Amino acid sequence: MNESFGARLRARLDACGPLCVGIDPSPALLSAWGLDDSPLGLERFSRSVVEAVGDVAAVVKPQSAFYERWGSRGIAVLERTIAALREAGTLVVLDVKRGDIDSTMAAYAEAYLDRGSPLAADAVTLSPYLGFESLAGAIASAVANDAGVFVLARTSNPEAAPLQRLVADQVVAGATAANKGHFPFGPVGLVMGATLPELEHSPADLNGPILAPGLGAQGATPADVARLFGPVRHAVVPSVSRAVLADPKRLRSRTITLRDECAALLGVVAQK
C-alpha cells in the first residue's frame, strides 16, 4: 500500500458510494442461511458475503468476535476472509474494539495494522476508555502502515449514552488533533451512531471519516444519516449488517439499493 488510508477510503467512496457492510456471522444468521453453526458454516457465510458485496461496497467490516469464538479455526477463517476482501478490492475495517495500556496496544497494533500480519486490515475499531492517549501507539502504527483507526465516540447502542456523553468531547478533540495536516482524511476516524437523535459533539473539524452504524435493523434510514451528518456528509460511511444479511438471495441487490440511496442523499455519486 503506497497511499494513505484516507486517500484509499476517499477513492473507494467516490468509486462505489458511501456504504459499509458488516460481516456478522452470528449463530442466528448462520441458521437463517441454512448453515451449521461451525467453522465450516462460518467460512461459507463469509465467502458468500465477500462474493456478493466485495465489488460493490466501499468498505466491509468483519466482526472479529464471531470468528474468535471458534478459536484458531475461526481466526483462520477470518484471515482468509480478510485476504479475499483485499483481493476483491474493498477496504477492510476489522471490528475489534480494542483498547488498553501502551504495551498491550502495541501488540494489538502489530496484530491488526502491521502490513506483514495475516490479520492486517485497512483500519480497526478502538475503544478510548483507558484514555485517548493510550491509543497513541496504535495511531502511530496506523500512520506507519498506511492504515487507519475508528475510535468509539457516540455509538448506536442506547445504553452507551450516559457514559459516552461524559467523554465524547475529549475523544472528538483527540481525533481532530491527530488528523491535522492530513489530506483528504486523517488516519483517525470516529464511530458515531446513525441512530443518534442529534450530534451533541460536533465532528465538524475532524478532518477524518465517520463510521455510522445503525442503518437498517437498528432503525436508522439513509435520510436519518443525511440529516444527522449534514455538515460532514462527505466524510460519513453508513454501516449496515442485518438488514442486508438477512436474505442471502437478496444480499447483493439490497446492498446496491441501500448504497445508491445513501449516495444520492449524501451527495456522492457511485460509479459502479
Q: What is the CA radius of gyration of the chain?
A: 17
Catalytic residue set: 97
DSSP 271: -
Specify whether the CB–CB gap between 230 and 194 falls below 8 A.
Answer: no
Classify residue 183 as exposed, middle or buried by CB count within 10 Å of its CB (0-12, 13-18, 19+). Answer: exposed
Distance between CA atoms of residues 187 and 142, nearest Å: 7
Contacts of 8 (CB under 8 A, 6+ apart): 1, 91, 122, 146
Whether the bond into 62 is cis, omega within 30 of 0:
no
Question: What are the grid coordinates assigned to 145, written together?
Answer: 502502515
**C-alpha dist (Å) from residue 70 to 43, 65, 67, 112:** 11, 9, 6, 18
**C-alpha dist (Å) from residue 130 to 118, 135, 167, 203:** 27, 9, 11, 21
DSSP 63: B
